[in-house]
Amino acid sequence: MPVAARDDRLILDSLRLRISGVIFAHWSYDTAQANPEGPGTNGANRFDLTRTYINIEPQVSRNISLRITPDITRVSDPDGSLNGSLALRLKYAYAQFADVLPDVRVKGGLQQTAYIDFEDSIWKYRVLGPAALELFTGVSSADLGVGAWGKHLGGLVDYQVLLSGGDGYTKGPQTARNAAKYKEGAARLTIAPFATSGGYLLEGLRLTAFAQYAIRQKVADKDVERIRVMGLASWETPYGTLAVSAGPTWDDDVGENALGEATVTNRKGVLASTFGFVNLPANLRLVGRYDHFTPNTDEEARAETSGNRTRLIAGLAYRVTDLVQVIGDYQRFGFEHPEKTGPKDPSSAVFVHLDARY
């Protein structure tokens, strides 16, 4: 029979096993329609399950551990027979090798990417929606590849590097020869200047730089590139958290000229975010977030699309326990040219979210 260990892992013969999980669910009420000329969903309300993680983490030796995380998620495929169903897919599946070098871990497999998981650990409210870098620019939170983590000097320096396929965990790897030979590289560096000497008010101050570069394919003898750069300043205290981030994006768009020849056009964007929360008495917490994304700094080109996009989140969380929260929140998405949006583009809604962990 399994016996509970002091470190909260089960011991099966010589194998130590940790099982944990996450449940994200919500009730939502649509307060406006995205496209004033469309059918809209004003007044619609629904229950939904947006995430169910099951983390299985065996420690197979002193320096080697595994993680397998299936994720139950809603299928969105209007042309498929499973549209609307809850399906099981892999989010993480990797082996981790500790102390390959002093204080350096190496991971191989389907793993966390270099920035999204780090920002989520500061924001702590992934249940309210994906990080802005993921939502607006398509950076995935997990990908297949090999990466390294390191933390040195008592936590003053923390970094992560990752070489991956660049397709994320929701898509299969590239199979076309012209695209499959290219990979994506990403790196994050975090400095905590007061980690060892700042006291409880300053030890949570961190400065982070992140960069990602990928070549997706080659078209018309040109590399189709994707670049993300982000700077993040975060301050975590017992009273709350405040963070500000900003950075440019570059994307090469593939099109055709009047002669039907393939063309590659570079598009520059800018993403900025601020988010945080304030701890209140009675296990309450005020949470808020604002994101602004300019997909193209060329105003003339931007006028042909929905243009700049924004997201506002404001809410009140009640922490039932350390592992269970209920959040009432309002979310609003804005567009520079709302007349160019479609009926499925988000607008505004009121939510009651459940974040339950075990």
Measured CA to CA in angstroms, residue 234 lies from 149, 218, 243 at distances of 20, 38, 4
Contact 246, 273 (CB under 8 A): yes
**E-assigned strands of 7-63?**
10-12, 15-30, 45-59
Close Cβ partners of 135 (under 8 Å, ≥ 6 residues apart): 129, 291, 311
The pLDDT assigned to 166 comes to 87
At residue 270, φ and ψ (nearest 5 deg) are -140, 135
DSSP 297-322: S-HHHHTTS--SEEEEEEEEEEESSS
pTM of the model as a whole: 0.89
The pLDDT assigned to 4 comes to 45
- The DSSP output letter for 126 is G
The pLDDT assigned to 171 comes to 78
DSSP 274-291: EEEEEEETTTEEEEEEEE
* Cα gap 11→14, rounded to integer Å: 6
The pLDDT assigned to 1 comes to 43
The pLDDT assigned to 42 comes to 53
C-alpha angle 51/52/57, rounded to 5°?
130
Pairing type for strands 222-237 and 157-164 reads: unpaired
Question: SS3 breakdown of the chain: % helix, strand, coil, rounded to 5?
Answer: 10, 60, 30
The pLDDT assigned to 18 comes to 92
Tell me the three state secondary structure of residue 154. helix
Tell me the three state secondary structure of residue 121. helix
* 16-38+46-357 has CATH 3.40.50.970 classification: no
Tell me the three state secondary structure of residue 59. strand
The pLDDT assigned to 77 comes to 64
Which sequence spans correspond to the domains of the chain?
A: 16-38+46-357
* Cα gap 17→222, rounded to integer Å: 49
Residues of the chain with pLDDT under 50: 1-6, 34-41
The token duo for 187 is: 């790196």
Residue among 279, 188, 277, 264 nearest 226 (CA): 264
The pLDDT assigned to 169 comes to 87
Close Cβ partners of 348 (under 8 Å, ≥ 6 residues apart): 30, 31, 32, 330, 331, 332, 333
At residue 129, φ and ψ (nearest 5 deg) are 145, 165
